Amino acid sequence: MPRAPKTKATPAGSPGAARPQAIKTDAPAGAEFEALRARLDPERMPRHLAIIMDGNGRWARRRHLPRVAGHRAGIAAVRSTVETCARLGLPVLTLYAFSAENWKRPRLEVGFLMRLLREYLRRELPLLRRHQIRLEAIGRLRELPPRVRDDLENTCRLTAGHAGMRLVLALNYGGRAELVDACAALLRRARPRARKDFELSEAAIQAHLYTAHLPDPDLILRTSGELRLSNFLLWQSAYAEFWVTPVLWPDFRPRDLFEALLEYQRRERRYGGVPPESDLE
C-alpha cells in the first residue's frame, strides 16, 4: 500500500484533554472548502469511502495521557470527516468504529467506548439532520449492550428518511464473521426443502452480506501508517484502492482527506483488465 508523506506530530496536549468536552469540528469553511473541492474531479469521486480509524492509543501515549483520551480526541476527527464527506456529496462513508476483536481490550476501555458511542449518537443528531445524513450500522449488532443498541436503533430510525450521504458505522464487525453469517443464511435458505436448484455463487454470497444494499468500497483509507486490513470488509475490498497515512486518527484533518481523494483520482482502475488503448501486440 502506498504511504502518504510523513507529518510532524502535533504539540502535546494537557491532561485536561481527557475530560468530556463539546465536540468541535475542523471541517473547512467557505472559501477554503471551495478551493480544496475545486482541485477534485466531481466525475471521479468514490461512491463508497471506507476508513480504518487507527492510532487513538498512540496519540494518547505520546502525550502521556490515558488511552481513553485518545478515543475522545478521535471524535472530533469523526465529526469533521463526516461533515466534509457529506458536503462533497459522497454517497457512502463507512467508519470502522468497533471491531469484533475489540472486546479483548480491558473491560474499562470497552465500557468507555460504548459510552462514547452513545454520546456520539445523541450529540451528532443535529449534524446528521443538517446535512441529511442517513445513519446505518453493520456487524453483529445484536451482541451490543442493550442501551447502545437502543440508542443506535433510535438514531437510525430518526435519520431513515434522509436523502443525503449514508454514514455506516461498523460495530462489533469482523470481515470473517460477516462471511460466516452470509454462508449460514444461505444454508438456512437451502435446507427447508433440500432445494435442488440451490447454487452457491459470488452473487449469492454478496446478496447475504451486511453491505448487500451498498456499493463495494472504491477507496479504503487507513490512518497511523499500518499496512493491513484488520479484518475489515474482506470480501468487499477485492478491487478497492488503498491509501495509508502516518497521521494518527485524532490528528486527521480534512486536508488529509482531500489528499487521499486526489491520490485516488490519479489512479487508473482496471479491475483485472487493460486500458482500451493498450497495444496488445
Backbone angles phi, psi at 130, to 5 degrees: -60, -40
Backbone angles phi, psi at 268, to 5 degrees: -105, 115
Q: Which residues, other chains included, contact 235 with Cβ-Cβ below 8 Å and sequence gap of 6+? A: 175, 178, 179, 205, 206, 209
AA identity, residue 214: L
Cite the active site residues. 54, 102
Q: Which three cell numbers stand for residue 86?
A: 457529506
Are the beta carbons of 85 and 168 closer than 8 angstroms? no
Q: DSSP secondary structure string, 112-136?
A: HHHHHHHHHHHHTHHHHHHTTPEEE
For residue 37, the surrounding DSSP H or E stretch is: helix 30-37
Q: Name the CA radius of gyration of the chain, rounded.
A: 20
Are the beta carbons of 121 and 151 closer than 8 angstroms? yes
Are the beta carbons of 66 and 189 closer than 8 angstroms? no
Count CA atoms within 13 Å of residue 237 on its CB side: 20
Taken in order 217, 212, 84, 52, is the CA torsion positive or negative? negative
Backbone angles phi, psi at 160, to 5 degrees: -60, -30
Backbone angles phi, psi at 32, to 5 degrees: -65, -45
First-last CA distance in the chain: 31
